[in-house]
Structure 1
C-alpha cells in the first residue's frame, strides 16, 4: 500500500459498506477498515496538511469525521457513513463541529467519486458579522469576481441559506444575494477516484484546491480578527 495515498481496496471497502451497512458486517471487516481506510487516511491527511501549509503559508491542522453516523435525529438508521470526510484549516482557528468553521479545505472520498470544497460551510456569529461588514464596505465586488472565476472553472457556489437578506443589511445593496449566505463555500466533483490512489494523491489533491486559494485567502483576511489566524 502507498505511504501517502489510498488503494483500490479503499474504494472497494466503501462500496461494500454501502451495500452491507450493518454492524455485523462492519465488525467482521474491521481489519479491512483499519488497513484500507483508517491508516491510509491518517497518512494522507498528514501529507496533505504539510502541502497545504506550503501553499497557504499557514500551519495547517486537520480532522477526519467519524465513520459512525449520528442517528439521534435521523430517520435513516444505517449505522455507518459510506464515505471518508476530512477538513483542513489554519492552526489557531477553532473548528466548531457542524456549527461553524474557519476558512477550510474540505474533502469527501465517496465510493465512486471525489467531492471537495473550500470555504466556511457555516459562519460563527462573529464571523458572519465580519462577512456582512465586508460586503457593505467595498469588498463584495472582489468576492463576486472570485466566485465567478471559480464557477467558470467548474466549481459550484453553495446555495443561500436565507430567503431574504438578514435584518440590518441594506436590501438595495448590490451584494444582497451574497448577504443571504450564513456560510460560503465552493464545491467540485471528480469522477476519477484513481487520482487518490498512490503516492501522488496528496499532490493531486492540493493541486485541485489550488484554484480556490484566492477565495480562501479572501475569507481568511476578513475573518482573521475572529479566528486569530
Structure 2
C-alpha cells in the first residue's frame, strides 16, 4: 500500500474475491480487505479529491460505493463486488446515488481495466428541465461539439434513455436526439491498470479526467441555473 495509490496486492485480492465470492471467504479475509482495499481506497480517494479540486477550482466531496452487492432484484446472488468504485462532485451539492447526481467524476477500478467518466448519469428534475430548455434555446450545437471533441479523444457518450423525445419537446428539433437523454456523461476505459498504482496514481487519473473539464463546467453551469 502507498499513501496515494493501490498495489498489485489490491488487484490480487479482488481476483481472489471474484474466485471465492462468498460471505465465509470474505469474513475469513476481512483483515486483508481492510489492509489492501479499504485503507488504500480511503487514502487514494482523498488524494484524487484534492487533485480534482485543483483541476476544477471547486472543493470536491466524494464517496466509495459499497463492496456489498444489492441482491434484491438480481439473479446473480454473489454477495460482493470485485471492483472499487468512487464518485466525486462539488461540495455543497446533493448526490442522490443512481437517481440523480450533480456534475460528477466517476471511477471504477476493475480487474482488467480502469473505467472513468464525467457527467450526470441521471439529472435531477430541475436540472433535466434546465437541460431541455437549454436545448430549445440553441445550446445543442455547443453540447454536440463538446461531445464530439471528447469522442475524438477516445471517450464514448452515454446512450439516450428514451426512445422518443419527451412530451412537449419539438420532434423536428435539430438536436432531438440529445433531448432523449435523462442524463449526460462520457466514459473511457484504460486497459493498463498500473495507472491506479503507486504514489502518482491520483495525479495520473486527475490528468485523465482533464479533457472532460469543458463538459463538466457546462453541466455545472446548467445545475446552477436550475
TM-score range, shorter chain: over 0.9
Q: Calculate the TM-score normalised by the size of structure 2.
A: 0.98
**Partner Cα distance (1:116, 1:19) in 2:** 25
SS of match in other structure, 1:95: coil
Runs of 4+ aligned structure 1 residues displaced above 3 Å come to: none
* Structure 1 residue 73, shift from structure 2 partner: 1.2
Cα separation, 2, equivalents of 1:45 and 1:206: 11
Structure-2 separation of matches of 1:197 and 1:96: 29
- Separation in 1 of the partners of 2:78 and 2:9? 22
1:209 and 2:209 matched: yes
Instruction: Assess if the C-alpha contact under 8 Å between 1:11 and 1:112 holds in 2.
Output: no
Contact conserved, 1:58 with 1:90, CA < 8 A, in 2? yes
**Deviation, structure 1 residue 33:** 0.6
Q: Deviations over 1:8-30 (max 9, x none)?
A: 01111111111111111111111
Deviations 1:87-144 (A, max 9, x none): 0000111000110000000000001110100000011111110111111112111110
Residue 190 of structure 1: aligned partner: 190
Q: Give the Cα–Cα distance (whole angstroms) in 1 for the partners of residues 102 and 178 of structure 2.
A: 18
Question: Contact 1:99/1:122 (CA < 8 Å) preserved in 2?
Answer: yes
Q: State whether residues 114 and 193 of structure 1, in contact with CA within 8 Å, keep that contact through their aligned partners in structure 2.
A: yes
Any residues of structure 2 matched to 1:21-100 within 5 Å, and which? 21-100=21-100
Further displaced range: 200-209 or 11-20: 11-20
Equivalent residue number for residue 127 of structure 1: 127
Consecutive unaligned residues of structure 1, counting only runs of 5 or more, are none
1:225 is matched with 225
Aligned residue number for residue 144 of structure 2? 144
Q: Distance in 2 between matches of 1:175 and 1:142?
A: 11
SS of match in other structure, 2:85: strand
Give the drift of 1:200: 0.2
Equivalent residue for 1:11? 11
User: Unmatched 5+ residue regions in structure 2?
Assistant: none
State the partner residue of 2:106: 106
Report the TM-score when normalising by structure 1: 0.97
What displacement does 1:225 show?
A: 3.3
Which string of whole-angstrom CA distances, capped at 9 and with x for unpartnered residues, describes residues 155-198 of structure 1? 00010000000001111111100000011100000000111110
3-state DSSP class of the match of 1:136? helix
**In structure 2, how many angstroms separate the alpha carbons of the residues matched to 1:73 and 1:30?**
26
1:164 match: secondary structure:
coil
Query: C-alpha displacement at 1:145, in angstroms?
Result: 0.1
Hey, what's the Cα distance between the residues in 1 that align with 2:20 and 2:181?
Answer: 37
Query: Which residue is 1:160 aligned to?
Result: 160
